[in-house]
Amino acid sequence: MLRSNPGGVASVLVVLFLVQSASAGPKFADYPVRKASECAAIAERAGLMIGAQPVEDLDEQKAYFSTELKPKGFVPVFMVLENGSSGDSFLFDKTAIKLGEAGLSDSTPQTMTKGKAAAIDSGAIASVFFVPLAGAVFASIAFNHAAAVQQNILRREIQSKTLSPGVSVHGFLYVPVPKKGAREKIHLRVPVTRSGTNETLVLDVVF
């Protein structure tokens, strides 16, 4: 019967293609992992180096996350921590990362100088709060294939880890920003504790 009507066959094929496309789900490009020293903002202390690279371009956000995060009020920031020390292990706890506006209008985002660090220590940060976890981003994502997009966001999030000598950890933080217009400079304060001690080092990055 279908042989007698090529139009019928074509419609079945079109339907098959559409169903397959709808079920295939979104694709997520691999983010090129970089060293801390190659990031836009870096800080180093006691052999520990941290790098932060915001992904602000909407096309890039679409490629890596299959959605534009800026209009949803977030900027994904690639973070990498490297333990270059020879004998110390450090505990990185992602829930301890704090965020605040730097309040340093002329600061250079490459590195923190002693002066800037002192300014931050003395309370120059306008407001400080904990960086929300990936779950906070989920509320803003409500569309077809949302589960796949959410899982990708979750799996790319940086996770708490013990950094043994020579070990690194990387992943994304999702930093809240205004949905419209330019953002203020972001200041991330990352506390890291030496394993088996109460000694905490704080690394600050501004970008």
Partner 1 sequence: MQHAPHSFVAASLFGMLVLSATFRPAYGQTAPVAEAKPAEPVLTLKAALVLTPEFCPSNSTLKSFWTNGKTKLVVGKDACAGFEPALRGAFSNLTRIADAAAAGDAQVVLVPRFVDASTKEAWGGDEVVIFLEWTLKDQSGKTVWLETVQGHAKDIIGKKNPDGEMVYGDFIMVMRQTVKDAVRDLVRQSASKMAASPELRKLAQQSAPPAAQAAPPTQAPQ
Please, which residues have CB within 8 angstroms of residue 58's CB and are 6 or more apart in sequence? 68, 70
Distance, CA of 191 to CA of 91 (rounded, Å): 9
Rounded least distance, CB 51 to partner 1, Å:
20
Closer to partner 1 by CB, 46 or 154: give it: 154
Closer to partner 1 by CB, 89 or 111: give it: 89
Closer to partner 1 by CB, 20 or 105: give it: 20
Closer to partner 1 by CB, 125 or 203: give it: 203
Closest CA to 204 of 94, 120, 106, 95: 120
Rounded least distance, CB 91 to partner 1, Å:
5
Phi and psi based region of residue 81 (left: phi greater than 0; alpha: psi -120 to 50; beta: remaining): beta
Burial (CB count within 10 angstroms: exposed 0-12, middle 13-18, buried 19+), residue 10: exposed
Rounded least distance, CB 142 to partner 1, Å:
4
Half-sphere exposure of 156 (CA within 13 A, CB side): 24
Do the beta carbons of residue 163 and residue 89 sit within 8 Å? Answer: yes
Closer to partner 1 by CB, 120 or 157: give it: 157
Rounded least distance, CB 12 to partner 1, Å:
5
Residues that bind partner 1 (CB under 8 A): 1-2, 5, 7-8, 11-12, 15-16, 19-20, 23-25, 89, 91-93, 133-135, 138-139, 141-144, 146-148, 150-151, 154-155, 159-162, 164-165, 193, 195-198
Other CB atoms within 10 Å distance of the CB of residue 174 = 26
Rounded least distance, CB 132 to partner 1, Å:
12
